[in-house]
Structure 1
Amino acid sequence: MRIEVHWDRCIGAGQCVMAAAEVFDQDDDEGYVLLLDATPQESLTEASRHAARLCPASAIQLHDE
């Protein structure tokens, strides 16, 4: 799986960080999503999918490879 984030859509809700802190973080200035790992290991797949579903702005896009 490959993850793509759209910073222009992010509203800084932080749901992604709470769901998958190993994959996502928030910047200190605006609180927007930071992608820590664009190709997370398989053990983080479900948490990453959950984070994408929780995002109120649909700023996280998952690509199965």
Structure 2
Amino acid sequence: MNRQIQPKWHTVAEVAAMLGYGLSKTKMLVASGRIRSIKDGGNRRILPEWVDAYVNQRVEEAA
């Protein structure tokens, strides 16, 4: 049985890759609060639903 482990949250770099954005742009979106995140130790973490919320917001803004 081969099970794939799905991460519970993502790094800023992973979110940048998911969205097709550069790391600098993604860091700016996180720092400004456009993409919600939490600080976990020395790292920022982003829940998958927070990425979805950002994408949905961008779609609504474009409509």
Q: TM-score, normalised by structure 2?
A: 0.29
Q: Whose RCO is larger (CA < 8 A, sep 6+)?
A: 1
User: Per residue, is there more strand in 1 or in 2?
Assistant: 1
Q: Whose Rg is larger?
A: 2
Q: TM-score, normalised by structure 1?
A: 0.28
